[in-house]
Amino acid sequence: MKSSILSLILCCLGAGTLSVPFMFYKNGIVFGTLLLSFAAYISYFTGQLVAECCEITKADRYEDIAMQAYGKRASFLTSIFMLACLLGFNVSYIILLKGLLPFIIDRVSDHTAPPILVD
């Protein structure tokens, strides 16, 4: 249960942190707000569906829900997709950190960023 909750939080917060400002930049404040509201509703709705599936199947992981609904092969594919998703988020965070870290180091200290961090 804890790993599923952590995965959900990472997926929701990680992708939103990187994409929401860009979405507002490209679509404007009014249409961006509409899109964000729609995405929030869809997120809430799918969260309710997952919770209902957990209640019906008595499962506490995505893989267990897939096992109950579609069998062992779907459970294995769900594990692979979860791994790929989390790996993608980690790569995104590393790229973001590499871009922001030199700026932060320059702003908060008297030292310059190490050459390995500077493009």
* 70-106 tens-digit pLDDT: 999 999 999 999 899 888 878 877 877 777 778 778 7
Tokens of 88: 């993608």
The structure tokens 């909750």 sit at 5
In a domain, 14, yes or no: yes
Alpha carbons 4 and 105: distance in angstroms, whole number: 34
In a domain, 115, yes or no: no
Amino acid at residue number 10: L
In a domain, 66, yes or no: yes
The structure tokens 């939103």 sit at 16
Query: CB–CB of 117/105 below 8 Å?
Result: yes
In a domain, 100, yes or no: no
In a domain, 55, yes or no: yes
Total domain count, the chain = 1
- Residue 41 has a pLDDT of 92
In a domain, 43, yes or no: yes
The CB density around residue 62, as the number of other CB atoms within 10 Å, is 20
- Mean pLDDT over 50-56 rounds to 91
Alpha carbons 23 and 11: distance in angstroms, whole number: 17
In a domain, 101, yes or no: no
Query: CB–CB of 31/18 below 8 Å?
Result: no
In a domain, 18, yes or no: yes
Tokens of 35: 């899109």
- Residue 66 has a pLDDT of 92
Q: Which domain holds residue 60?
A: 2-85
